[in-house]
Amino acid sequence: MSRVSQAQQYNSHSFSLKVGDDGRIGSLKSLTNGHEYGSIDSPGVLLQLVEKGKVLRPVRAAFDKENIELFFADGKVAQIKAAVNSLYITFRLISVSNGVSAIKWGPFNTFINDTIGNTVGVVRSRAFAIGIQGLNKKTSGGELVNEEGAVFERGTTATEKRFGSSLQAFTINRSYDREITVWGRWPDVPVKKIEDGGLNGSSIAIFGCVPSQVLSIIESITQREGLPYPKLKNRWIKQSPETGKPYMITSFSESNIDTLLSYAKKMGMAAVYHEDPFETWGHFVLKKSLFPNGRAGFKACVEKAHSMGLRLGFHTLTNFITTNDAYVTPTPSPDLAQAGSDELSADVSANASEIPVMSDKYFKLKSDLNSVLIGNEIIRFTSITEMPPFRLIGCVRGAFGTRKQTYKAGTTISRLIDHPYKVFFPDWKLQKKVAENLAAFINETGADQMDFDGHEGTYATGMGDLSFNTFAEDVFKKADHAVVFGSSRDNHYFWHINSYLNWGEPWYGGFRESQSELRITNQKFYEDNYMPNMLGWFLITAQTSPDDIDWMLARAAGYNAGYALVLRPEALTNPHMQNIVSRIKLWTSVQQAGLFNIAQKLWLKNPDNDAELQQRGTLLYFQMFKKVELAYEAKVLQPGQPTSESWQFDNEDIKQVPTLIIHAEGEDGQITNPIIDIDHTFHLLIQTAIQAGQTLILNDANGASLYDSKGKIIKRIPIIANLPELTKTTHTLTFDGTTDVNSPVKVRIELKLLKNEELLTNSMVNN
């Protein structure tokens, strides 16, 4: 059939896409409501070419029934095959002229900007959604911004624009040897061509539908086009409630696994996950101190977990290779990732502390391990001379247990790529073996949860997102049973393999302080990208309070989110542990039973709100608390002028004993012997010093407790009387505390008051 140069329209049941005779996108139209969603002022384009860094748009397009031919101003031509089915439209590159370094699908520009699913590649309004899906690993979702084809940002498959939004994907031509910047840091790295590294076969699917149908259409695309399709309990992971459940992170061993599994079960956790089980990464050798029976011992732990209905998982850093692994010592693999190679300019003895090289090209960049590979020896060095003849100086020979040797002039010397975690990385070839090793561990032990933490390490191969996706897919395909996979990063293709992302680390403060803003803002990202809500990691210590647990569980209930509880064996000495376990179990049961209504969830989403659950007989109550915040600061006073300050506050709801919290804020200074006066009838002197960064909490049950900046209890302080019960009226609080007017310490006082309680159910949730 002869091709014609006129606009061509492609229709699914609910969506119409028109390609103009110049290769531009003439229309993105809903066939359900008849509305046009394509940008008129900034029309998109079907395909662009990249040649020597220059982006080329087509100038003319010709069509027959299934084929599109795009012509470019420099004479280059691209042939595309289009296919239409009832749910979506696909475009696949059949051929392209030589000399093209990359292709860019799109951008497909729309005026939709209500919700931008930047990773999954879906934009939607209340009425309509438009999405793009890369149909193979070589087709990366996102904007092309570097030669390696890595999307370092948090997803750019869909991006917000001034006119609305855009959808895009790209493919890098990896069919020839290149010299590029790798991982955004290592310049001029020689990257060899790979099999099937060409542009042909790059393919995308485009769809449009009502928002409620997005996931079902992506599921159809996934199945029909052969994308990774993991399932849990016979359901696609994107529709499975199993992926967003809370789990425990701990350092279990063969000897303590029963205890930790018991705690996880009592709390209602879905899994127990080992935070650091391996002696080495690369071959994944288990720590003998934890697993004296090796993988058989780990397998026994897995079987115990499965018998209790729990998953058992493990943590590693993806393709990171530790310096004690067999890929490094005693004989290093020649396939460790390299930033480039040079030659020795003179003979080198086995004990030489300086290594002569022909140039400084690959040795100027400082790194954490600063290592080179010569033969079977790794050598560390401090720097390279500034002028020729160039020499690596400050050399440590036979590093990491390798063997010192002598070398002739002309011998190859290679710079190794490393990382601040003091590890090396595999090249493209060795990375496949590391993935096999990881899958073998999964298969031998039955482990069924892991995170691709440090997933960005796959960029060390120079293959960008192709490497990122290939490593994960290799592990996924070689695993012989269902595994819940997480990651430290998101990615368009990996979205299909990924079960959850769980950002938010607990190492920077207490439950309320450690990355709390990040934890909350992440929820919108998850929802925009059809991922389960997750709050991140929370660390339970021997000092964690039940109130902190309630704060975290309230956020989880508000967002219907999962989380990870880091519970190390030493934390089991917490005197409140049984109370903590009961609260976690209760909140988890109520959340999973769906007992919170929309208004209650809205309250729970606010990190400034506190909430508790109370069981009274067979009844379950949801309690909401409000906070009154007051600020006190030392002032320059006249002789005899009182140093105290008073405020009025309202207790509007019920008679109650408040909780009073005194924060000493600042970098230095202290508050000495604070005095609390309520309604001029209750007077309490607390004989203690509150250092900057510390917090003092008073309630009717525990007297006074002093905590450090990370929520760790310092001591309990006896007081002569508990706080009084407040009636439903206006009250006066007076505070006094010795502080130096020149000290940076400031006082922030919180009063926690019960605002309301609501009956959740007339039957008690099983505890």
Q: Which residues of 536-572 are buried (b: 16+ CB within 10 A; e: fewer)?
A: bbbbbbebbbbbbbbbbbbbbbbbbbbbbbbbbeebe
Per-residue pLDDT tens over the stretch 479-522 = 999 999 999 899 999 999 999 999 888 877 777 777 788 899 99
What is the tens place of the pLDDT at every residue in 46-60? 999 999 899 999 999
- Band of pLDDT at residue 699, cut at 50, 70 and 90: confident
Region 666-682: what's the mean pLDDT?
A: 90
- 767, pLDDT greater than 70: no
What is the band of 740 on the pLDDT scale with cuts at 50, 70, 90? low
75/114 Cα distance (integer angstroms): 40
The CATH number of 625-760, from 3.20.140.10, 1.10.10.10, 2.60.120.860, 2.60.40.3080, is: 2.60.120.860
Mean pLDDT, range 513-536, rounded to an integer: 91
Residues 464 and 151: their CA atoms lie apart, in Å, by: 8
- 314 pLDDT more than 90: yes
Q: For the chain, what are the domain ranges?
A: 8-227, 239-321+427-501, 516-607, 625-760
Helix (H, G, I), strand (E, B) or coil at 260: helix
Q: What is the structure's pLDDT at 744?
A: 76
| pLDDT-derived band at 636, boundaries 50, 70, 90 | low
CA 481 to chain centre: 24
**The pLDDT of residue 396:** 98
Counting Cα atoms < 13 Å in the Cβ hemisphere of 113 gives 10
pLDDT at 702: 61
Mean pLDDT computed over 8-27: 97
Phi-psi region for residue 446, left (φ > 0), alpha (ψ -120 to 50) or beta?
Answer: left
For 237-320, where are the E strands, in sequence order? 247-250, 271-274, 311-316
Q: Provide the 3-class DSSP secondary structure of residue 752.
A: strand
Give the pLDDT of residue 765.
52
Q: Is 390 exposed, middle or buried (0-12, 13-18, 19+ CB in 10 A)?
A: buried
Question: How distant is the alpha carbon of residue 257 from its chain centre?
Answer: 27
Rounded Cα distance between 230 and 218, Å, is 13
Nearest to 531 by CA among 308, 240, 177, 102: 240
Least confident range of 91-95, 242-246, 297-301? 242-246
Q: pTM for this structure?
A: 0.90
pLDDT given at position 764? 47
Question: Could you tell me if 472 and 494 are in contact, meaning their C-beta atoms sit under 8 angstroms apart?
Answer: yes
* CA dihedral sign of residues 297, 303, 308, 310: positive
For residue 722, pLDDT over 90 is answered with: no
**CATH of the structural domain 239-321+427-501, one choice from 3.80.30.20, 3.20.20.80, 1.10.357.140, 3.90.870.10:** 3.20.20.80
Q: Is 183 exposed, middle or buried (0-12, 13-18, 19+ CB in 10 A)?
A: buried
Tokens of 235: 């359901």
**Mean pLDDT, residues 308-314 taken together:** 98
In terms of DSSP bridges, do strands 703-707 and 659-665 run parallel, antiparallel, or are they unpaired? unpaired
Identify residue 411 by its one-letter amino acid code: T
Per residue in 707-719, pLDDT (tens digit) is 887 667 788 888 8
pLDDT bracket for residue 1 (50, 70, 90):
very low
In tens, the pLDDT along 285-304 reads 999 999 999 999 999 999 99
Average pLDDT over residues 409-426: 98
- What one-character DSSP code corresponds to residue 494? G
For the segment 171-185, what is each residue's pLDDT rounded down to a tens digit? 999 999 999 999 999
Q: How does the average pLDDT of the chain come out, rounded?
A: 93
pLDDT band at 640 (very low <50, low <70, confident <90, very high): low
Label residue 118 by pLDDT band (50, 70, 90): very high
Asked whether residue 91 carries a pLDDT value surpassing 80, the answer given is yes
Other C-beta atoms closer than 10 Å to the C-beta of 262 total: 12
The token pair that represents 244 in the structure block: 């967003």
**Residue % of the chain over a pLDDT of 90:** 81
pLDDT higher than threshold 90 for residue 197: yes
Does the pLDDT of residue 94 top 60, yes or no?
yes
Please give the average per-residue pLDDT across 604-631, as a whole number.
Answer: 90
List beta partners, residue 689: 672
**CA distances, 525 to each of 236, 255, 467, 530, 730 (Å):** 21, 40, 24, 9, 42
